A and B are shown apart, each in its own frame.
Chain A
Amino acid sequence: VAPGPTPEAPGGGPAERTALAWGRSSLAIVAIAATITKSGLEAHESVVAVAAGVLLLGAAGVVSWTGARMSAGRLAADREGSQQARRSVLAVLTAASVFSACVAFVIALLA
């Protein structure tokens, strides 16, 4: 049986709240990209820091767009595809956070 539309809850539906959470997460990546770039520039590791910042900004774009699209239900028609897409986006976000931790670790040691 195909699941029906998400029931509305008081104060906004779960899909909207999830889309907003994806937006906040992409903004968090943007913030950490700025922090890493700035701290890297202070440490005279500007090339590494700027490259990492640009990469993280790209990840933020992917996460923001795909996460919001997924929550809006555009991928819901294909349930298997939706599950795979969700797992992929979550993996991208996880990779971005671990990558930023690695870059921050290197900058901290070099600073």
Chain B
Amino acid sequence: VSEGPGHAGGRDEKAGGDDPRPPDRLPGQAIRRRRPEERRGPGEVGEEPDPRFTFANERTFLAWNRTALALVAAGAAAAAFLKSNLSGARLLVALPLIVLGAFVGLHSFQRWEANERAMRQGDPLPYSGVPRLLAVTIVVVAAITAVFAVIDLVKD
């Protein structure tokens, strides 16, 4: 039986209203703390959504996970094969990619669960700030790599 909006996922709408509890998610906060009733598996709440939406959610999870694997692969390749005259340059490029890959991998599963739960309960899909983090990190790592490449070129 669906618990409906307002019980598990729809509390954001009540922030600032008569509810004495603090809001689930502050402005700018990507992920809110899960309440005990939300710690059940997504299959134990609400009703089965349209299979097309379930498949789409699964494909989104897979796409995020492939992104995580690509980040790890890029980091491992940079650690093994990047040649630079500057000490530490290799790790400065490789480690952020690997750490971000691990984070994105974990986030993909959490995101799938949150989306599945929201769809089953008829709630809005939760917001995630991870795409922004991913884009910023890739731009920063690319800039660092470019700087190292130019320095190496000048030194040679």
Contacts and interface: CB of A to CB of B under 8 A. Distances in A.
Interface of A is mostly: helix
Interface of B is mostly: helix
Given A21-B63, A24-B62, A101-B68, A107 B76 contact: yes
Given A32-B69, A90-B112, 6 more contacts: A17-B55, A71-B55, A87-B43, A94-B106, A97-B102, A108-B98
A94 B95 CA distance: 19
Give chain B's interface residue range (CB within 8 Å of chain A).
35 or more
Most chain B C-beta atoms within 10 Å of own C-beta, residue among A22, A42, A101: A101
24 contacts: A18-B55, A18-B62, A22-B62, A25-B69, A32-B76, A35-B77, A39-B79, A83-B42, A87-B43, A90-B112, A94-B106, A97-B68, A97-B69, A97-B101, A97-B102, A97-B105, A100-B72, A101-B75, A104-B75, A105-B98, A107-B79, A108-B79, A109-B91, A111-B79
